[in-house]
Structure 1
């Protein structure tokens, strides 16, 4: 039990996920900008922001992830930070994990069924 100087109380938070501490707002903002930039399709139409959640095969994610990992690694060796490659790598890792969790019909450690 936590008690605040105001007298208000709440349950403890030691066993709760600390999203605020685990995630970087700067990284999330850069990643969102990358995703938004890549919403325009070859035909000029704008895809929905959650289009990727409809389902992309794991094989497509792994092949794309390796290409972007290679770009990141190559540019690292050149002393350059390739933000685009890092954002693309995050996208592929997130998509791969999303499909894996979807197939298990669970969300993370909570083991709650996915409703979407």
Structure 2
């Protein structure tokens, strides 16, 4: 069975867009512009130079996105309740920061998912990344984390023929 066809006043025809994702409709140009302005301001480094706009895509630990995102959520919530923000930033800035942290967290999850779907053997990288985050948290608190250390040892000492699945 062929897909339904739309016909325009000009005579042009095209398939329907009923089952297609409507990115244009789901996003707001106002929000995208404001978010871009926020991100551009955050590119400037203390020495006056600028980091690349996609620098964050190199990888930021999930725990850092969560902690930062929660602080910005708290400030947004405080402002919503009439208490103002602790940071002193306006609500737009807090929302842009929250969008950044949520997007970055989702980006890392989707990268890991694509990696596992494309090549199941790369799941050792994902588990190693998670274990390394656990080790980092433990070490910052002056603790050892035997499970994370064991996971890293096991994952990085595996034989190359293992699928990791």
Higher relative contact order (CA 8 A, sep 6+): 1
Matched, 1:53 2:54: no
Matched, 1:94 2:98: no
Q: How does 1:65-80 map to 2 (within 5 A)?
A: 65-78=69-82
Considering fraction of residues, name the structure with more helix.
2
The residue number in structure 2 matching 1:103 is 112
Runs of 4+ in 1 over 6 A off after TM superposition: none
Aligned residues: 109
After superposition, the C-alpha distances for 1:15-37 in whole angstroms (9 at most, x for unaligned) are 10111111100011000000001
TM-superposed deviation, 1:78:
1.2
TM-superposed deviation, 1:68:
0.4
The residue number in structure 2 matching 1:30 is 34
Q: Take 2:118 and 2:96, find their aligned partners in 1: how far apart are those partners? A: 28
Structure with higher Rg: it is: 2
Q: Take 1:92 and 1:79, find their aligned partners in 2: how far apart are those partners? A: 23
Q: Take 1:68 and 1:75, find their aligned partners in 2: how far apart are those partners? A: 11
TM-superposed deviation, 1:105:
1.0
Matched, 1:62 2:66: yes
Matched residue SS, 2:43: coil
CA root-mean-square deviation: 2.0
What TM-score, normalized to structure 1? 0.86
Q: Can you give the 5+ residue segments of structure 2 that lack an aligned partner in the other structure?
A: 85-89, 120-165
Q: Take 2:80 and 2:48, find their aligned partners in 1: how far apart are those partners? A: 33
Matched residue SS, 2:104: helix
What TM-score, normalized to structure 2? 0.62
